[in-house]
Every structure is written in structure tokens, then in C-alpha cells.
Amino acid sequence: MAWLRIALAQLDLTVGDIDGNVALAQDAVRRAEAAGAHVLALPEMTLTGYPVEDLVYRRTFAAASRAAIDPLARNTGELIVVAGYLDHDGGPRNGAAVLHRGAVRARYYKHFLPNYGVFDEQRYFKPGTTVPIVRVHGVDVAITICEDLWQDGGPVAAAGRSGAVLVLVINGSPFEQAKSDYRRDLVARRAAEGGATVAYVNMFGGQDELVFDGDSMVIDPAGRLLARGPRFEEALIVHDLELSPATRHDRDEAHRGITVERILLSTDELDFPAQPVSGGVVEPLAPAAEVWDAVVLATRDYVAKNGFESVVLGLSGGIDSAVVATIARDALGADAVHVVAMPSAYSSGHSVTDAEDLARRQCLHYSLVPIGEVVDAFHLALKESGGIDGLAAENLQARVRGTLLMTLSNEHGHLVLTTGNKSELATGFSTLYGDSAGGFAPIKDVPKTLVFELARWRNERARMRGETEPIPLNTITKPPSAELAPDQVDEDRLPPYDVLDAILDDYVERDLGREDLVAAGHDAATVEKVIKLVDTAEFKRRQYPPGPKISPKNFGRDRRLPITNRFRDAAR
Amino acid sequence: MAWLRIALAQLDLTVGDIDGNVALAQDAVRRAEAAGAHVLALPEMTLTGYPVEDLVYRRTFAAASRAAIDPLARNTGELIVVAGYLDHDGGPRNGAAVLHRGAVRARYYKHFLPNYGVFDEQRYFKPGTTVPIVRVHGVDVAITICEDLWQDGGPVAAAGRSGAVLVLVINGSPFEQAKSDYRRDLVARRAAEGGATVAYVNMFGGQDELVFDGDSMVIDPAGRLLARGPRFEEALIVHDLELSPATRHDRDEAHRGITVERILLSTDELDFPAQPVSGGVVEPLAPAAEVWDAVVLATRDYVAKNGFESVVLGLSGGIDSAVVATIARDALGADAVHVVAMPSAYSSGHSVTDAEDLARRQCLHYSLVPIGEVVDAFHLALKESGGIDGLAAENLQARVRGTLLMTLSNEHGHLVLTTGNKSELATGFSTLYGDSAGGFAPIKDVPKTLVFELARWRNERARMRGETEPIPLNTITKPPSAELAPDQVDEDRLPPYDVLDAILDDYVERDLGREDLVAAGHDAATVEKVIKLVDTAEFKRRQYPPGPKISPKNFGRDRRLPITNRFRDAAR
């Protein structure tokens, strides 16, 4: 048997920041060299960040990405580095370059271009058809990219058939709930199919609505999890693998349109070290923990990568703004978080006391800006036009708050965090330019029931660690209310949140229509009410700020519906 | 020679409104029958409207589309009807059904699925590989859909090789400037390639950011334009064609993966009528006229299809709001248009007098709501938090206006029209939730220089017709200003609009990078300033309301860039 020491680098790349990404890659190279690794795999599109969307079409951007491969290659010695980048070869390519001894020794172009959910790669890239198999210390190692791993009979199978015993897969695989388990099963299935150990490396960090969770891993053909990296954080996973040496070097036949290209880098087989290095196996995260870590990382990265140093948000005393404030504190530290209570005539007493309580528990910058006189000034200004009441007067309060937050943002340079949750976004239960105003919406993809669960879980974690619970108990236990009219509670207008979220899950995530929803056991009248709310709120969603995807189908890149849409499934 | 009387129906379909679309189709069937037509072609996706986006995934929607074909078929007699619909056959299909004597006689599935610009069809549809050739009164007629026409050596060529002498192409082809000329050349090229007359039918009407312009036409293999329908309006184009009768009925070989399916509907050849019917040739529209008609139709349809009956907008006395008010009046009539002047301390005297003048010229509902006291109330409310000035104070005025308009919308049910132009949207020269607030933005894709051109053209048209010029001369001639600070003009912060728009055209539409822009003759320092403005305004564009695409690349479906993007081409 021969062996290799492999290194997998979980890096937090930034779209467009080629210099910064190269610096991260070079730092990983230095650390992998220091650890004595033979091969280092960096994430998909290492140099450009991912996804770059229409930057693909900018000639100067593609040229900068290609040009950055050379200095990175020049700094390589014996360590073999696999780096992702944007190439151009008869069309734009999602590429991987194999760097060794100062030069590019092989290139791979992603074969399977995902074009569903959040992905639009058939818009951007031309697919490749060749798999490079590089011989490293006598071991045949194949390279593939992300979606290629998801295909039965794809490049991994082709590489295995051609004798590769190790397949390096570089990824830009966004987080969604429970995907980590699925990913592990997938890597194991593919390792079995190819008869090769699969080393999977994924980026981490936030990119607009996507958050990448790391979760790099190594699984052998028998399905054994040999190493697994942490989630949502930086890591260099270094692991020694005992592998069969290459026994043949045939000219390979193309199979199902996939050809193999062989590159000899080094043929000397090494003896397995007496004290092999293990990358370790990080334990999986609990469901609430992985969502929390995802939204915290997404918020931290959106703020930092867009050049902000602080955030501001309105605190209503309710659960949503309390959870968002806590996410912001965990992401940025208390000193970067500014919270404002903006009570109106209809705000309950506890709305301010609960907000103050939360700010005190978390040491946030707190201010109180009552909105009554501003609202009165609007009423007065509109008196001659016939005055306003009802919904217009309710929304006005929310818009005064939105304007106050945006004004504080302009004056002090804070990013405004939007506090709406997914149930609200789904049903349009928010005011455009009011509570929906802001630059980033951390719980945009979190249903209300899960918001409660996260609050309880976060308090529980604090208790376990002997810390102050960040969220006041009253905020968690009182009935949710928008407080825009006297004695209002959410259930006046919406079904109870457990009922609502169950229907939304089936309507939005699973795309069931009215008759299928009723067949699934939901109450027909409630289904019709919810469908109508969801369908007619598309215009609000379109103007909502971005927020991290945590579900299989978020509002935004995943779910793309027209605003002008007369299909009323409920009415049939 | 044999002949056929064909009818092409330009219909204003609505996405999701299957019942309404079927009714429009049935009305076209009745009119085509009354005109003695043998074949009627309806637009792409007749039954569902286009594009339906993720409605494709809703089982109940796809089932409703398929189910609606049957009643439409049942109502057909001798007239052969080609209707577009959403089918499901091993996957969702962009389909066309050939209906005759009460039944579906053939089906076609679009072969080429556009996946660029505003199109995402590879996300949604499975491509077809077969072309039906139906024999009608002894003439072989082939069916294809939209993008199939754009392909050299595609289905049209295959149909021609197999003896079709007439190809019906059903389309959902969105307007952009100068596309009509291109389309005519394309149809002629394809007719020559296939050696067949091409009859092209396109829908008209607005669908969110897309506006379809009709422009149906018939061109023979020699490139002669035999008939051409009007732009942006309803039409049934009926035209008699002398065509070669079918001479063979071979079993056709598949060519380049395309197979031909032959269906015999009727073989009796007809004598060309003594007095043939001509569809006529409508003259092309001038450049300003086609843009005007596009934005007027888009606005009318967005308002109507989303259930509104009236609009409200702020009138500043400036050119943008004056043009939008005029578009709204042309789209909806004066009685449906409510305009509000909202002067602040920094508003010039002419801001109100020019607004009043415009409202009077167009008989719009006018009201005056000074914002000074509301702005003062905000300043007072924020005094304890340290007060505000500079940009925060400027934006506050815009946000007070945005809130007033949204409040009037909530109170009276008007849709708010947003008055921003493309130059502003490109450079972020607007206030989020301020002047960018609203439901629809008619000139979102119109650069400032073209806004001026449209204003002059519209006044000129009024003069020619002996009508009152709708836009006050002072509004057109005075220097543009946001009037958010004393004596402010736009050129304090932006390059002159002719310089700016030329750079934007090259940067946005043509995707040139910094070095290419400078090589194209633009001033380097100005290029760098403009690039920076455009790149850092992405977050504002993301929350902007929809507005009609009139250019080859609009902000929205066409140009898709990340918000988090550190690529600063200008800085290299």
C-alpha cells in the first residue's frame, strides 16, 4: 500500500475579492506545507468566490481570475494544490486547476451544471467532459467539482473505473436544514460507486442569501467516515490515507461521454507513517444549533463583506426582533448592535420594558424614540386630503419606524437589520417600507414556530453555560402582536402559527396545490385563506431585503413566481 | 398551386388566468372562423400566459393547463387551431397543440429552451425533438415555438427539408428597442433557410417586467414581407397564401436529432380565391414611439392585471415624474391618475407651479401636501439620539414623501407609481423607501437622456395632433435637481447625463470593464466614478419595484449580480 497526506481547506471566500481570496489560498498552502501534506484541496471557485452570477460576462473579471492562477501556481513546490477558478475555454468554465512545482499541471471543467433551486449554472458555464487523474506518489487521484458528485454514473464513477483510488471534490455547497446528513450519505454512496475514497471540501461563509457550512469530509469505499471538519468555521483538515498504488496506466476509453486524462506528477510510493495524522471527526450539530450558526455566520459575513461595522434594529419587545438582536450580538458583539424601541399609542407597556430588558441582558446600545408626534404630524399633513384610518393608519406607524431606522443608518453608518420571519413574509403580514425596511433580514427564511424554538434553544444554551439568558421570558411567552391597533394579536388575522407553518411548509416547500393540501389533512377553509395570502404577497417579497437561506426552498433564489399571476388555486 | 387562409391572433394573455386566456382564445377562434380562415395560430403558452416561472412545479396548475386544452379542442370544427400550453410528458413541456374537429391532433414541444437574458427555460422545461407536419387542404404546415426560430439548422430547417411549405411559429417574444427590425430579418433568414413561408405570431401585453409587442408577420422564402400586424395592440391578422401542394409523404429520416411526424388532416387542394384577403403591412414605429407605446402598455396591464383601478405618484415639477404622469394618463385615462406635490423647505417655487401646470394640462387629480412639519417632527424625535444632518436629512425628505404616497395608496387603493429612471437606478441616485417606493416603475429601464427625448417627442405628437402639450416646457428645460438641499442640481454629484448614459450603456448593456471602457474613449476618472456608483448600488436595485424592460439589458431579470461583490474593476 502507498499513502498520501491530504489537506482540505474550509475558507471563507468573498465574491469578487480575487486578491483577498488568493491571500486566503496562499495561507492555506503554507499551513498545508507546514503540516507535511502532499495534496491540498481548496473550495470551488476559490479565486472568485461563489456564485459570481453575471460577473462571468465581464471580460476583465474573467481575465483577472485566470491571471490569478499563475502567481498561486508559482508559489507551489512539492505540495499539489487543487484550486477552483473561473476559466474561459470556448466559453466560461467553472474550473479547477492542479498546481505543482510552479505550474498548472491539469485543468478540470465542471461537467454537471446545476440549474435548479438557487443555481443557474447553465446560464453561465459550458460543461467539461474530461476528468484528470493525477498520479501523486504512485497514487491515482481524480478531481471533480460539486454537482458532479451528485450524479450516478458521472465523473466519480468514470474516475473509479479508470483506477483512481482517491477523488477530490471541491464544493460551493450552500447550507440548508438537514442537508449535512444527506451530504454524508451522498459522499458514501459515491465512494462505493467509484470504489474510491472521496475527499469532499466545502467553503464556509455568507454570500447574500446563501450560507456555506463547511462540513468537509473523507469517506472510504466501505462507507467509513474517516474525517469530518467543523460546520460554519475555518478549518484545515489534514488526514493520512492508506491507498492502493496505481497498477496500470492504460489508455482509457471514453465512457458515457466522459474521457480521462492522465498526468504523472510523482511515482515514488511512500510508506505509511508510524504515527499517522487524523483529521478527526466533528460531531453533527443539533437542528436548532445548525440553523443558529447559519444565520449568525450569514449576518456576520453580510455586514463585514459589505463594509459595515455595526447594525441597528427596532426592538418591539416581541420574539422576532429579540431573536434578531441576539443573532446580531452573537455575530458582531454587543458593541456593534444598536437597538431602538419606538413605541406608539398602541404599544403595550411590556413592549418597552421587554425591549429594555433584552438590551440590558445583552449590553446592547439602547435608545427610545417614541413615534407618536411624528405619526400625528402625518395625520395632520393628510387631513386636507380627507385623512386616513384603518390599515393605512396601521401601516403608517410601521413606516415611521422604518424611516427612523433608515435615518439612523444614514446618520451613523449602521446597517439596518430587518426582523421579519418566513411566516410573515409568506403571508404578507408586514408593511412594505415599514417593518420590512432594511439591508439584511437574518430570519427571513425562519418560520415563526422555529423562531420560538431558536429563542428557547438559545436561552437554554446560555443556562447550560451559566450565562444570562439573552431573551426575556415574557418575550417568549406572550401572544405575538403587531401592536398597530388597540388590543391586536396576530391570531386576529392569521391562523395559529403551528397550523399556518404546517400549511406553508406544504404549499411553499412542497408546492402542493389546494386539493393536494386538503388531501394532506389541512382544513380546507384555512388552506384557501393561506393560499390567497401567499399568492397576493408576492409584490412585497420582491422588495424584501436579502436574508440567509436555511430551508430547502427560500423566498428569493429558490422560489421564483411572477407578481402578476391570476392563478388562484384556492378558488377552484 | 394550393392555398390557405391563415389567421394570427395577437392576444393579451394573463399569467395564471387559464379561464380568461381560454375565453380570449375561443373568441379568436370565432373571429377566425367568421373570416373563413383554415388555420389559426395563437401565441406561445396561450392557456397559461408567459412566463409562468415556478408555477410549472405546481401539479394543480399544470393539470389545469392540460385540462383546458380539451374544451378548447371540443369547440373546434374545420378550423385548425394551434394553441400554446403547459404540458407534462416525462417532465414539464412548453407545448403547442394542434386542434381540429374536436380533438388534439398533434403536439409539439419546444426544442430550444432559452436560458439567457430574461429567460430561464432550462430550469423549467424538458426539450422536444419532434416536429409535426400537418397536411391541411393538401399543404404541409409545420409547427414550432419561439426560440426554435432563432436556431440555424433547427426545427424550421428540418421542416423545410421534409417538404413543409409553411411554418407557423408561436411566440412569447418580449419587446426591446430595435428588436422589431431584428425580428423581421430573422424571420426572413429562417424562411430562406427552410424554403418555406414563415408565419410568426406573438402575444402582446405586459407581464411584470416584460412587455410583449405583437409584431406578428408573414414572410415568404424570397424574403417578401406579406403581412405584418400592429405593435402593442390586439389584432387578428388574416392573410391568404398561395402555397405548393404536398408532393410526397415519405417516411422522414431524423436529422441532427430532429424527427418529423406527419399528420393528415385534409388533402383536398383549394383554388386560390379571386379576391384574396391580405393581412396588410403595418408601418414600423419610430424609436421614441415604440418605447412610449411599450411603457404605456406595460403600465396599463400591470395596473389592471393586479386588480388596481387608479394610481398615485409624487410630482416634483421635474422631468421624470412629469413623464411618468403622462404615461399613466395615456395608459389609464386622466380620471385614474392622482398626483401629489409634496414641497419641502428646499423645493424651488417652480417645483410646485410646474407640477400644477402639468396636472392642469392633463386634468389629473391634484393635491398639495407640504412635508415641512412632518420632517420637523422627525428631527425633533431624533434630537435626543444626537440629531441628524447631511445625507440623512436629505434622504429623510424623500422617505417622508414615500410614506405619504404609500399611505394614500393604502387609504384609497391606488397603486403607487415610482418615477425613477435607469440612470438613477444604475448609480443609486435615489433614496431607498423614498423616491424608490412604489408598486411599478414605468421608466425604470429608460435612461435619463431618453426620458428627455420621450418628453419632447410626446409634446411634439400632441402639437401635431392639435392637442395641448402634456408636459410644461419649463419641466423639460430646467436643470435636473433632487431638491433635497439648497440650490442642489444633479450635476453636483453625477457627470452630465449625456456623458453618464454613454458610459452606462457600455458598462451595463455591453458589460465592458474599466480598461475596455477607457479604450472605448471614455474619460478614465469619470469611468471609475461611475463604475463605483453602479457597483455599490446593487442593494438598492434589489429592492426596487418592477418596471418594463425596454433595453437589451434591464436591471432585474437580465442583469443578475451579487450584492456582496468586492470586484472593483475601477480600482485596478
Which chain B residue is nearest to residue A389, measuring alpha carbons? B411
Min Cα distance B167 → chain A (Å) is 29
Residues of B in contact with A410 (CB under 8 A): 388, 391-392, 395-396
Query: Is 80 exceeded by the pLDDT of residue B18?
Result: yes
C-beta separation of B69 from B49 below 8 A: no
Residues of B in contact with A553 (CB under 8 A): none
Per-residue model confidence (pLDDT) at position A486: 87
Which chain A residue is nearest to residue B560, measuring alpha carbons? A54
Per-residue model confidence (pLDDT) at position A409: 98
Closest in A301, A386, A410 to B395, CB measured: A410
Q: With both helix axes pointing from N to C terminus, report the angle between B18-34 and B59-74 in degrees, rounded to the nearest 10.
A: 20
Q: Between chains, do B381 and A373 touch, taking CB under 8 Å as contact?
A: yes
Min Cα distance B314 → chain A (Å) is 14
Per-residue model confidence (pLDDT) at position A52: 97
Per-residue model confidence (pLDDT) at position A488: 87
Min Cα distance A165 → chain B (Å) is 35
Cβ neighbours of residue A341 closer than 8 Å, sequence gap 6 or more: A314, A315, A316, A317, A351, A352, A355, A356, A366, A367, A368, A369
Min Cα distance B524 → chain A (Å) is 15
- Work out the pLDDT band at B289, boundaries 50, 70, 90: very high
C-beta separation of A405 from A304 below 8 A: no
* Of B134, B121, B207, the residue nearest B164 (C-alpha): B134
Residues of B in contact with A302 (CB under 8 A): 564
For the entire predicted model, the pTM comes to 0.96
Q: Between chains, do B378 and A374 touch, taking CB under 8 Å as contact?
A: yes
Amino acid identity of residue A451, one-letter, is V
What percentage of chain A has pLDDT greater than the value 90?
Answer: 91
Dig out the grid coordinates for B59 from the structure.
Answer: 401539479
Q: Coil, strand, or helix at residue A261?
A: strand
For CA atoms A249, A252, A258, A262, the dihedral sign is positive
Closest in A208, A389, A390 to B564, CB measured: A208
Largest CA distance in chain A: 90
Cβ neighbours of residue B292 closer than 8 Å, sequence gap 6 or more: B327, B330, B454, B457, B458
Chain A interface includes B413 (CB < 8 A): no
Q: Between chains, do A569 and B367 touch, taking CB under 8 Å as contact?
A: no
Q: Between chains, do B55 and A565 touch, taking CB under 8 Å as contact?
A: yes
Chain B interface includes A194 (CB < 8 A): no
What whole-number distance in Å separates Cα of residue B443 and Cα of residue A276? 66
Output helix, strand, coil percentages for chain A, rounded to the nearest 5: 40, 20, 40
Residues of B in contact with A418 (CB under 8 A): none
Q: Between chains, do A403 and B403 touch, taking CB under 8 Å as contact?
A: yes
The answer for B214, left when phi > 0, alpha when psi is -120 to 50, beta otherwise, is left
DSSP category for residue B432 = T
Q: With both helix axes pointing from N to C terminus, report the angle between B319-332 and B287-305 in degrees, rounded to the nearest 10.
A: 70
Bond preceding residue A472 cis, omega within 30 of 0:
no
Chain B interface includes A258 (CB < 8 A): no
* Residue numbers of chain A with a pLDDT score lower than 50: 572
CA distance to A136, A137, B13, B52, B73, per residue, from B46 (Å): 59, 62, 7, 11, 13
Cβ neighbours of residue A183 closer than 8 Å, sequence gap 6 or more: A173, A200, A215, A217
Per-residue model confidence (pLDDT) at position A315: 98
Per-residue model confidence (pLDDT) at position A75: 87
Which strand ranges, in their side-by-side order, compose the sheet holding A103-109?
A103-109, A92-100, A80-88, A39-41, A2-10, A235-243
* In chain B, residues 10-69 whose CB comes closer than 8 Å to chain A: 14-18, 20, 51-55, 57-61, 64
Residues of B in contact with A339 (CB under 8 A): none
First-residue to last-residue Cα distance in chain A = 67
ipTM summary value: 0.95
Q: Between chains, do A382 and B407 touch, taking CB under 8 Å as contact?
A: yes
Residues of A in contact with B112 (CB under 8 A): none
Closest in B15, B115, B382 to A562, CB measured: B15
CA B172 from chain center: how many Å?
Answer: 10
Residues of B in contact with A51 (CB under 8 A): 562
Active site residues of B: 44, 110, 146
Per-residue model confidence (pLDDT) at position A184: 97
Amino acid identity of residue B380, one-letter, is L
CA A484 from chain center: how many Å?
Answer: 33
CA dihedral B111, B115, B118, B121 (to 10 degrees): 50
Q: With both helix axes pointing from N to C terminus, report the angle between B372-381 and B390-412 in degrees, rounded to the nearest 10.
A: 120
Residues of A in contact with B126 (CB under 8 A): none
E strands, A125-196, in order = 130-136, 139-145, 166-171
Closest in A20, A404, A539 to B381, CB measured: A404
* Catalytic entry in A53, A121, A126, A146: A146
* Beta-ladder partners of A143: A168
Which chain A residue is nearest to residue B507, measuring alpha carbons? A58
Which ranges of A5-55 does DSSP label H, i.e. alpha helix? Answer: 18-34
C-beta separation of B471 from B354 below 8 A: no
User: Which residue out of A124, A410, A557 would a mutagenesis test of the B interface target, given it has the greatest number of B Cβ atoms within 10 Å?
Assistant: A410
* Catalytic entry in A33, A53, A78, A110: A110
Chain B interface includes A203 (CB < 8 A): no
Going by their DSSP bridges, the two strands A103-109 and A259-264 should be labelled as unpaired
For B492-540, what is each residue's pLDDT tens digit?
Answer: 899 999 999 999 999 999 999 999 999 999 999 999 999 999 999 999 9
* In chain B, residues 305-364 whose CB comes closer than 8 Å to chain A: 305-306, 340
Chain A interface includes B114 (CB < 8 A): no
Per-residue model confidence (pLDDT) at position A395: 96
* Of B173, B172, B216, B222, the residue nearest B197 (C-alpha): B222
Chain B interface includes A571 (CB < 8 A): no
The answer for A119, left when phi > 0, alpha when psi is -120 to 50, beta otherwise, is beta
Min Cα distance B126 → chain A (Å) is 13
Per-residue model confidence (pLDDT) at position B570: 60
Which chain A residue is nearest to residue B555, measuring alpha carbons? A54
Long-range CB pairs of B456-464 (<8 Å, 24+ gap) are B457/B286, B457/B288, B457/B289, B457/B292, B458/B292, B458/B323, B458/B326, B461/B289
Within 13 Å and on the Cβ side, how many CA atoms surround B501?
15
Chain A interface includes B370 (CB < 8 A): yes
Cβ neighbours of residue B160 closer than 8 Å, sequence gap 6 or more: B142, B167, B193, B194, B195, B196
Dig out the grid coordinates for B431 from the structure.
Answer: 433614496
Residues of A in contact with B15 (CB under 8 A): 562, 564-567
Q: Between chains, do A382 and B399 touch, taking CB under 8 Å as contact?
A: no
* Beta-ladder partners of B262: B133
For A447-487, what is each residue's pLDDT tens digit?
Answer: 999 999 999 999 999 999 999 999 999 999 999 998 888 88
First-residue to last-residue Cα distance in chain B = 67
Min Cα distance B531 → chain A (Å) is 13
Closest in A406, A411, A565 to B16, CB measured: A565
Going by their DSSP bridges, the two strands A197-202 and A217-219 should be labelled as antiparallel
Chain A interface includes B402 (CB < 8 A): yes
Residues of B in contact with A61 (CB under 8 A): 513, 567, 569
What whole-number distance in Å separates Cα of residue B84 and Cα of residue B96? 4
Residues of B in contact with A59 (CB under 8 A): 511-513, 516
